[in-house]
Structure 1
């Protein structure tokens, strides 16, 4: 069980390091926005693509 708590601590440290560092936070936010736009465009095209066709 000690191995699990060590890995949980490492995950918490990793997440904290990604949030606290300004450059990493900016990069992560850009990635989240671009992934969100990509997923949103797929959703829209799959659901409403036939309405956009000429």
Structure 2
């Protein structure tokens, strides 16, 4: 069980290092925004793309 606990600690440290560092957070927020926009555009085109056809 100690191995699993150390893995969780490493994940928590990675999460905190990515969130609490201003420069890393700026890059991560841009990546999250771009991924969200990409996924949203795919969903929009899958649902309403036929309405755009001529």
Q: Same fold (TM over 0.5)?
A: yes
Point out where structure 1 has 5 or more consecutive residues left out of the alignment: none
TM-score by length of 2: 0.96
Please say if 1:3 is aligned against 2:13.
no
Offset of residue 45 of structure 1: 0.4
Alignment map for 1:18-33 (pairs within 5 Å): 18-33=18-33
TM-score by length of 1: 0.96
Figure out how many residues of one structure are paired with residues of the other and give that number: 54
1: CA distance between counterparts of 2:6 and 2:20? 21
RMSD over aligned Cα, in angstroms?
Answer: 0.5
Point out where structure 2 has 5 or more consecutive residues left out of the alignment: none
Give the 4+ runs in structure 1 shifted more than 2 A: none
Tell me the residue number matched to 1:46: 46
